[in-house]
Chains A and B, each alone.
Chain A
Amino acid sequence: GESVGLHLPTLSVQEGDNSIINCAYSNSASDYFIWYKQESGKGPQFIIDIRSNMDKRQGQRVTVLLNKTVKHLSLQIAATQPGDSAVYFCAENIKDTGSARQLTFGSGTQLTVLP
């Protein structure tokens, strides 16, 4: 079946640099996308979301970009800090799953911030 996937399982960046985490999706019916951060021993923490009628959305130090033409989603983290080290998941909601908004998750990218 269709699923969300990630280009890279691991990413290492220098402290202070910008990070870009990528996600590919294949279901053109998806209308909502969300990024989560998961630290060891904890549950996923909401970072930012975007709906399919938008191309870009910004939060505090984070930006999500959506390219529907190539079915690609990215999370940009500005001035990466040691506390950003975690696993990052993208997830999609397929429009016809009703009001419950079931999410399909990718397998995650491990971000490591180097001193």
Chain B
Amino acid sequence: DAGITQSPRHKVTETGTPVTLRCHQTENHRYMYWYRQDPGHGLRLIHYSYGVKDTDKGEVSDGYSVSRSKTEDFLLTLESATSSQTSVYFCAIRGEGNQPQHFGDGTRLSIL
């Protein structure tokens, strides 16, 4: 495995509550990514980071924020969760140069 831990692995919460998902890596890679995966849509990029405190928006960033205060951790926050954010969330990491992205095993988030 690529040394990526996502937590929690499963979460059920209510609409309007804040939710934070954590991605932790042990590879010291510069690049980290958050995706969501929904039936019929494949994987869609939410936000990504290209270094500590350096982040940018992806394709579906509305309703999400991220933070990266140290190399090993990339946090995804839903400030006020909505039912449309029910999904499986994947974190990925990538090293420098021509390296592929490697994925964690995901967090299944249900918002009722």
Interface of A toward B, CB cutoff 8 Å = 32, 34, 36, 41-46, 49, 51, 89, 91, 99-103, 105-108
Contacts and interface: CB of A to CB of B under 8 A. Distances in A.
Closest 9 CB pairs of A and B: A43-B103, A105-B42, A105-B43, A107-B42, A46-B100, A43-B105, A44-B103, A100-B50, A43-B104
B6 to A, nearest CB: 8
Contacts of B105: 41-43
B84 interface: no
B16 interface: no
A107 B41 contact: yes
A32 B100 CA distance: 10
A46 B102 contact: yes
A80 to B, nearest CB: 23
Contacts, number: 50
A66 to B, nearest CB: 15
Contacts of A34: 100-101
Place the interface of chain B in its size category. Answer: 20 to 34
Contacts of A51: 98
B3 interface: no
Contacts of A102: 33, 45, 48, 58
Interface string B18-59: 000000000000010100000011111100101000001010
A47 to B, nearest CB: 9
B70 to A, nearest CB: 19
A5 to B, nearest CB: 10
A101 B102 contact: no
A103 B101 contact: yes
Contacts of B101: 34, 46, 101, 103
Nearest to A46: B100
Given A89-B42, A89-B43, A107-B40, A45 B50 contact: no
B90 A101 contact: no
> Which of A32, A89, A100 neighbours the largest number of chain B CB atoms within 10 Å of its CB?
A100
